Amino acid sequence: MSLPPVPLLPAKSRTGSFAPRAEPEMHFEKTHPQSQNAECYDARAVANAAASVRDKLPMSDDDCPLIGVILGSGLGLAAERMLAAGGKWLEYTVIPGMPLPQVVGHTGRLVLARIDGISVAMLQGRVHYYEGHSIAAVEFGTRLLRALGVRTLIITNAAGGIRAGFQPGNLMLITSHLRSVATFCATRHSKCGHVELPVRSQPVNARCSKTPRLHDFLWNEILRNQVRHIHSPLQIHEGVYAMMTGPNYETPAEILAIKRMGADAVGMSTVPEALVAASLGMRTLGISCITNVAAGLSTSTLSHADVITTAAAIESPFADWLWDAIGVIGNT
């Protein structure tokens, strides 16, 4: 599918008008007051956020998004294309309780539009556990998408390639995952005391690989089959994604260990969103953009700037692929 050329757009203001916006810096010690004051991410908070989105961006039943997308580091062009095609947006700052990204390459904007007649909601940027957020905060955007009506979630990320032959600029469809134990030992709510979460957000997430129904939603094979043969100039693989806690890149010893465990790519996101999405009955499709060769497997020094540069270099063909994937999934 060919797409119309997209004009370069300045970032939008939270009211929907165009305004200059500086690229965020990586300052983990500084968070927006909203992030500091909204430590409780229970069902009421999700419902409140969803109600606020519907109030600010009125939508009919036909406009309720069926497909959701979480865009990873440096992969925001797809959202810009939706805006250029008449999409609507909200800055995370005006969504009650929405955690705010602090990392370069994560704009912090919810975008709603139609692609091939399919109503789509995109999160242009995510928060990470290593920024100081609880796991519940990391999951919040996914739960908001579900509350807005999303049934299928496409999760993207930037990742380091582990498998021999993976090169920067390749894509990898996620077939399964490994996760760092330390990540899931973290408290879900660091300041609000005991908060009763919905049953589906309780530790069943960690056991979903033993639950056939949830396993069917997680890294859904039907979705992979649907998008596997989309034509793209990008080389597309399939494999296992390993999540580490960050913010430091992995050591060569850690890469060797997870390679022996079966990992093909490594990153610092995606798994919490996928687990909570599956527990809420959302089919999940994961796609990693290989932005570098993992530590110890090349002589290059790893940096976030290089990750963003590589992601930016394939943004256009990746957006083409994602656009086609949404069309295939939504019309099948």
- What's 272's domain CATH number? 3.40.50.1580
Helix then strand then coil, % of the chain, to nearest 5: 35, 20, 45
Share of the chain above pLDDT 70, in %: 75
**Sign of the C-alpha dihedral, residues 112, 138, 287, 153?**
negative
158 occurs within a structural domain? yes
The 10s digit of each residue's pLDDT in 1-41 is 444 444 433 333 333 433 333 333 344 333 444 444 445 88
3 occurs within a structural domain? no
18 occurs within a structural domain? no
Q: What is the pTM of this model?
A: 0.81
pLDDT at 59 (0 to 100): 87
Give the pLDDT mean for 131-155.
95
216 occurs within a structural domain? yes
Average pLDDT of the residues of the chain: 80
pLDDT at 304 (0 to 100): 63
21 occurs within a structural domain? no
214 versus 174: the higher-pLDDT residue is: 174
User: Cβ(279)–Cβ(210) under 8 Å?
Assistant: no
3-state secondary structure of 112: strand
pLDDT at 299 (0 to 100): 60
Please give the structure tokens belonging to residue 80: 């810009």
Name which of 6-20, 228-242, 261-275, 277-291 the model is least confident about: 6-20
Share of the chain above pLDDT 90, in %: 55
Position 212 confidence tier, pLDDT thresholds 50, 70, 90: low
208 versus 213: the higher-pLDDT residue is: 213
Which residues are 238's β-sheet partners? 173
Tokens 């705010």 correspond to what residue?
100
**Sign of the C-alpha dihedral, residues 243, 245, 251, 253?**
negative
Tokens 């242009």 correspond to what residue?
124
Q: How far is CA 63 from CA 3, 122, 135, 145, 268, in A?
A: 22, 14, 30, 13, 32
Position 285 confidence tier, pLDDT thresholds 50, 70, 90: very high
User: Cβ(265)–Cβ(164) under 8 Å?
Assistant: no
187 occurs within a structural domain? yes
pLDDT at 103 (0 to 100): 78
pLDDT at 171 (0 to 100): 96
Q: Are strands 236-243 and 265-267 parallel, antiparallel or unpaired?
A: parallel
pLDDT at 112 (0 to 100): 96
- Residues 49 and 53: their CA atoms lie apart, in Å, by 6
Cis peptide before 247 (omega within 30 of 0): yes
87: left (phi over 0), alpha (psi -120 to 50) or beta: beta
8 occurs within a structural domain? no
Position 211 confidence tier, pLDDT thresholds 50, 70, 90: low
What single letter denotes the amino acid at residue 154? Answer: I
| CA 109-178-266 angle, 5° bins | 60
The structural domain count of the chain equals 1
Provide the residue range defining the domain that includes 53.
Answer: 34-330
Do you know the residue count of the chain?
332
pLDDT at 75 (0 to 100): 79
pLDDT at 198 (0 to 100): 40
Given a cut of 50, is residue 183 above it in pLDDT?
no
pLDDT at 295 (0 to 100): 56
